[in-house]
Structure 1
Amino acid sequence: MEPDVLVIGGGNAALCAALMAREAGANVLLLEAAPRAWRGGNSAHTRNLRCMHDAPQDVLVDAYPEEEYWQDLLKVTGGITNEHLARLTIRASSTCRDWMRSHGVHFQPPLSGALHVARTNAFFMGGGKALVNAYYRSAERLGVRVRYEAPVDRIEVKNGRFVAALLRNGERISARACVLAAGGFESNRDWLREAWGQNERGEWPADNFLIRGTAFNQGVLLKHLIDDHHADRVGDPTQAHMVAIDARAPLYDGGICTRIDCVSLGVVVNREARRFYDEGEDFWPKRYAIWGRLVAQQPGQIAWSIIDSKAIGRFMPPVFPGVKAHSLPELARQIGLDEATFMQTLNDYNAACRVGRFDHTALDDCHTEGVAPAKTHWARPIDTGPFFSYALRPGVTFTYLGLKTDDTAAVRFNDQPSDNLFVAGEMMAGNVLGKGYTAGVGMSIGTAFGRIAGTQAAAAALKKGAQHASA
């Protein structure tokens, strides 16, 4: 039976769209490219949702008002964001949790201490995998049909209207409305190479990128919509949620546990054994996602986070043990860096430290003077053995190149919104995220626009159905 609404994708945004369309009375079919065991896309690796709130609410402490959320987003994006759509996302984040709970999502009690996010982020009990499993159970209970291992390679569009989807197996599925929520192109190595190109050292940086999430986000539909249907696009193809992760992480699906969280508590050096950025710029929820791009710009796309014993116990322990040495020269030799340059870098940094009242939970007054780059917070000499090093590579979570949209989530062609083709999640996140990232905002965007897209698609489909019935 032809569905009223076809949802292409299987992560948070797609599921939100499918659930909202079904609740609005539409017959819904969801196509997930991955096998059932790998369903959920990058959403399965998530942990939390950044939420606006004007007063303490259930699992959120204190207040995180709209203007502060907006200023945080403005800061990390450097102003490369659509304020109208950003504020829509922010406001929607304050009202979605009851709906999420109605579909089986549970939230855990507030976190405190070093994670520093109990005020701004609501954490899913069981993480993102539990969230997508809850949504799939709810979808199936409500009668949403789900097909796995059903990748869509192309869609038919006529005069800006969705007509049908063509699956890789040759099958054609028509529908009265469609929601595209099939992710970015971060798993497509050829496209990453094309986007990043070759640097002045003759390297292809993308060859050294690791993918934190799913292997199924190949960007096939995104490329098809942009190249073949000339859909309006937004964003820079080199911009992405990119984190510095353990260089020993797997190529795909390493997830949150591969992140290295001790960057702010020590120094980071490149292959030439030199520092290249302020390790103490801000708390990790606002600044952890700049480090992947910073490492991507270094020789060989590799760097090392260096700490001493004073930092132990103050950050989330990595999955893999670091390289351990009882002296800094020994550490340099173990990780293969030039010992003389490494020692000059560390000695210059240590001499520049102006230690005040150290507090890794606040923007403290421990800083450097007379060294470049400066370290503006949490600067303490690295002088207490044993010493540890963690090799870092760029870890891509999702890309920001996407389809331009508006507050109806409609795909646009020549600046005209389609009346039955909608987009949500990574495929449109670049409207809000031109660059940078702050923890939990990806799930805020996916949830907000997934719900809008599902509602709009159901309305378009049911309107079309009513017209056919009256004819």
Structure 2
Amino acid sequence: MIDVLVIGGGNAALCAALMAREAGASVLLLEAAPREWRGGNSQHTRNLRCMHDAPQDVLLDAYPEEEFWQDLLKVTGGNTDEKLARLTIRASSTCRPWMRRHGVRFQPSLAGTLHLSRTNAFFMGGGKALVNAYYRSAENLGVRIRYDAPVDRLELRDGRFVAAFVGGERIEARACVLAAGGFESNREWLREAWGRNERGEWPADNFLIRGTRFNQGTLLKFMMGQGADIIGDPSQSHCVAIDARAPLYDGGICTRVDAVSLGVMVNREGLRFYDEGEDFWPKRYAIWGRLVALQPGQVGYCIIDSQAVGRFMPPVFPGVRADSLPELARALQLPEDAFMKTLTDYNAACRVGSFDHTVLDDCHTEGLTPVKSHWARPIDTPPFLGYALKPGITFTYLGLKTNEQAAVHFGGVPSDNLFVAGEMMAGNVLGKGYTAGVGMSIGTAFGRIAGTEAARAALKGEVHAAAA
């Protein structure tokens, strides 16, 4: 019999498989995707948010525990389990040597991501290189890997794992780690979570999926039906405003448009709807998907002028270009009068001091609702650019409640051989909001814990079985 069964194929699953194998357990990993699409959403990542008290190779200065915690507290609005959040934060300070041993390499932050050079360690080659390194290491260590192996149900007995089913095939194991992601690719479940808005629209019908098409939430729904303890709001997710021309699935980071804080955002009625300069982009970029989802037609338009060009990571798709603002409104098919009033009022409200996009500068608006708190400069220097944006779901936050041992709970009681990691439990730490790289911090921390605990449970059970 297998000691540890890992269900999933992304960062958290791989960390669990590697840790369990290093602890001496036999491990089988089941990845729902075919080999060429392996890695879940982790293949689209590029960095890990790391606590550190002094400069470390690619990380500048210091990013102490309390600052990390305060950043997380701010973006979640306090909707987080402090004990599990701090566990994640502390684990982020010690995981990189282990990651290197398994082939992950790091590099300094790229141009256009300098805000993250103190807080986030970037993977050389991005997330695809990271998951490839982990798969190579797992294979070298003797982890068995099966692709095209979606698990649709489990056999449970009194809160304990017994077996998993891939179609009609039953696979037994002494312990199991669930790391199969959220339900972001399940359109019906997204519809159910978001419902209809006051305009009678199904917002979810206009969502794009930044990540993998294989995260249908099948096991999450199964576990909910089996009475597992659940945490999180099904409508909350890592949701980013991405280019409306992005593909339905697997667009990843390159579909983002990072110019929002340098200009204004308007809806299809030509009206602004939120403070574009509230905080640094890495801390606020993930609120914009939800904000756009609440707008008519689930679409927003980022408007900048030539002053902003070169100050943000160039997007894959070129912006709509015009030599005047009225021409831009027509090109974007926005109501020209409303658009021009919005831009005229905004330009007049700007109080420009010392513009500096690397700090929370003193360029702001006065007498304007919503305010723009920082980086407010008149949009008056042609050419002008506009980007139509739609909500892009990366992963959902509804998940399984867990503890410091990464155990799945039933009626408040932790299972002694069923564990959870990654997006299936991220809602314990992320009740809402997001800050760059923290998803990988959660997946790495709880993947390693889940793998260690699963191996301990399996090997303990093996000893008892032998004694019997």
TM interval, shorter chain, is: over 0.9
Judge conservation of contact 1:20–1:451 (CA < 8 Å) in 2.
yes
Per the alignment, do residues 209 and 51 of structure 1 end up closer, same or farther by CA in structure 2, a change over 3 Å counting? same
Aligned counterparts of 2:113 and 2:103: Cα–Cα separation in 1: 29
Paired residue for 1:393, among 384, 387, 390? Answer: 390
Q: How many residues of Structure 1 are paired with residues of Structure 2 in the alignment?
A: 468
Judge conservation of contact 1:405–1:428 (CA < 8 Å) in 2.
yes
Aligned counterparts of 1:87 and 1:31: Cα–Cα separation in 2: 30
Match of 2:249 in 1: 252
Match of 1:165 in 2: 164
What is the CA-CA distance between 1:109 and the residue it aligns to?
Answer: 2.6
Match of 1:135 in 2: 134
Deviation per CA, 1:287-323: give whole Å up to 9, x if none.
Answer: 0000000000000000100001111111111111111
SS of 1:293's equivalent?
Answer: helix
Deviation per CA, 1:91-126: give whole Å up to 9, x if none.
Answer: 000000000000000001345665311100000000
Aligned counterparts of 2:239 and 2:112: Cα–Cα separation in 1: 25
Match of 1:85 in 2: 84
1:218 aligns with 2:216: yes
RMSD after superposition: 0.7
Question: Relative to structure 2, which stretch is displaced further, 106-115 or 444-453?
Answer: 106-115
1:278 aligns with 2:275: yes
Judge conservation of contact 1:114–1:361 (CA < 8 Å) in 2.
no
Unaligned runs of 5+ in 2: none
Aligned counterparts of 2:109 and 2:332: Cα–Cα separation in 1: 39
Judge conservation of contact 2:75–2:283 (CA < 8 Å) in 1.
yes
Aligned counterparts of 1:457 and 1:427: Cα–Cα separation in 2: 16
SS of 1:311's equivalent?
Answer: coil
1:289 aligns with 2:289: no
Judge conservation of contact 2:289–2:390 (CA < 8 Å) in 1.
yes
Judge conservation of contact 1:56–1:63 (CA < 8 Å) in 2.
yes
Give the letter aligned to residue 365 of structure 1. Answer: D
The aligned runs of 1:30-429 (5 Å cut-off) are: 30-111=29-110, 115-168=114-167, 170-227=168-225, 229-429=226-426
Deviation per CA, 1:403-445: give whole Å up to 9, x if none.
Answer: 0000000000000000000000000000000000000000000
Deviation per CA, 1:52-104: give whole Å up to 9, x if none.
Answer: 00001121110000000000000000000000000000000000000000000
Aligned counterparts of 1:151 and 1:113: Cα–Cα separation in 2: 38
Aligned counterparts of 2:379 and 2:22: Cα–Cα separation in 1: 57
Give the letter aligned to residue 415 of structure 1. Answer: G
Aligned counterparts of 2:343 and 2:141: Cα–Cα separation in 1: 60
Deviation per CA, 1:239-281: give whole Å up to 9, x if none.
Answer: 0000000000000000000000000010000011000000001
Give the letter aligned to residue 377 of structure 2. Answer: R
Give the letter aligned to residue 268 of structure 1. Answer: M
Aligned counterparts of 2:127 and 2:289: Cα–Cα separation in 1: 22
Aligned counterparts of 2:114 and 2:45: Cα–Cα separation in 1: 15
What is the CA-CA distance between 1:285 and the residue it aligns to?
Answer: 1.1
Deviation per CA, 1:375-428: give whole Å up to 9, x if none.
Answer: 000000011111110000000000000000000000000000000000000000
Aligned counterparts of 1:230 and 1:21: Cα–Cα separation in 2: 27
Give the letter aligned to residue 382 of structure 1. Answer: I
Match of 1:461 in 2: 458
Deviation per CA, 1:26-65: give whole Å up to 9, x if none.
Answer: 0000000000000000000000000000001121110000
Determine what percentage of the aligned residue pairs are the same residue. 80
Aligned counterparts of 2:236 and 2:342: Cα–Cα separation in 1: 30
Aligned counterparts of 1:417 and 1:171: Cα–Cα separation in 2: 27
Aligned counterparts of 1:318 and 1:111: Cα–Cα separation in 2: 14
SS of 2:348's equivalent?
Answer: helix
SS of 1:237's equivalent?
Answer: coil
TM-score, scaled to structure 1: 0.99
Judge conservation of contact 2:112–2:313 (CA < 8 Å) in 1.
no
Unaligned runs of 5+ in 1: none
Judge conservation of contact 2:243–2:257 (CA < 8 Å) in 1.
yes
Give the letter aligned to residue 38 of structure 2. Answer: R
Give the letter aligned to residue 189 of structure 2. Answer: W
Give the letter aligned to residue 288 of structure 1. Answer: Y
Give the letter aligned to residue 22 of structure 2. Answer: E
Aligned counterparts of 2:265 and 2:86: Cα–Cα separation in 1: 35
Deviation per CA, 1:152-197: give whole Å up to 9, x if none.
Answer: 00001100000000112x1000100000000000000000000000
Deviation per CA, 1:336-368: give whole Å up to 9, x if none.
Answer: 111111000000000000000001111100000
Judge conservation of contact 2:237–2:393 (CA < 8 Å) in 1.
yes
Per the alignment, do residues 114 and 179 of structure 1 end up closer, same or farther by CA in structure 2, a change over 3 Å counting? closer
Aligned counterparts of 2:443 and 2:315: Cα–Cα separation in 1: 28
Judge conservation of contact 2:112–2:312 (CA < 8 Å) in 1.
no
Give the letter aligned to residue 19 of structure 1. Answer: L
Match of 1:445 in 2: 442
Judge conservation of contact 2:112–2:311 (CA < 8 Å) in 1.
no
Per the alignment, do residues 398 and 114 of structure 1 end up closer, same or farther by CA in structure 2, a change over 3 Å counting? closer
